[in-house]
Amino acid sequence: MMNLTCDIVMDLVSIYKDKLASQSSYEAIEEHLKECHNCRKYYKQYDSINQKELEPENHNDYLQNDYMQKYTELSVKLNNRRKLIVAGMAVFACASVFAVLISALKPCKK
Ligand SMILES: [Zn+2]
């Protein structure tokens, strides 16, 4: 069994928590945390800091910002589309008028 010093355990706490440590490191850290009050305290502190970063409040904020950004993008797109539709209708109306005019003028040319 590998005996880790407190320094090493504190260094490895982050990968231990993220489950990125190898099996033997993981077991050694776990063993040390069981026996060492200081490192357990440090681990708990580290754990609570990490959880604060992922608090639902912050997460919602992020989602809301993301949503607002998507919403803004979407409304800009819709606005552009509306302009395109209006422009398209105007072009179509002009074309219709032209078609009517041309068909009205045709008999005169004969
Ligand atoms: Zn320790």
Please give the average pLDDT of every successive group of 10 residues along the chain, which has 110 residues.
Answer: 84 90 92 95 88 61 73 85 89 90 74
CA triple 26-20-6, angle to 5 deg: 45
State the chain's maximal CA–CA distance in angstroms: 108
| Model pLDDT, residue 68 | 78
What does the pLDDT read at residue 2? 61
Tell me how far the alpha carbon of residue 9 lies from the centroid of ligand 1, in angstroms. Answer: 6
Residue 36 identity (one-letter amino acid): C
pLDDT given at position 81: 86
- Phi first, then psi: what are they for 2, rounded to 5°? -80, 130
Q: How far is the CA of 98 from the centre of ligand 1 (A)?
A: 88
Q: What ranges do the domains of the chain cover?
A: 6-109
- Distance from residue 2's CA to the centre of ligand 1 (Å): 13
DSSP three-state, residue 110? coil
Ligand 1 center to residue 66 CA distance, Å?
Answer: 42
pLDDT of residue 66: 79
Q: Which of 54, 51, 33 is nearest to 12 (CA)?
A: 33
Measure 18 CA to ligand 1 centroid, in angstroms. Answer: 19
- Ligand 1 mean position, distance from CA 34 (Å): 9
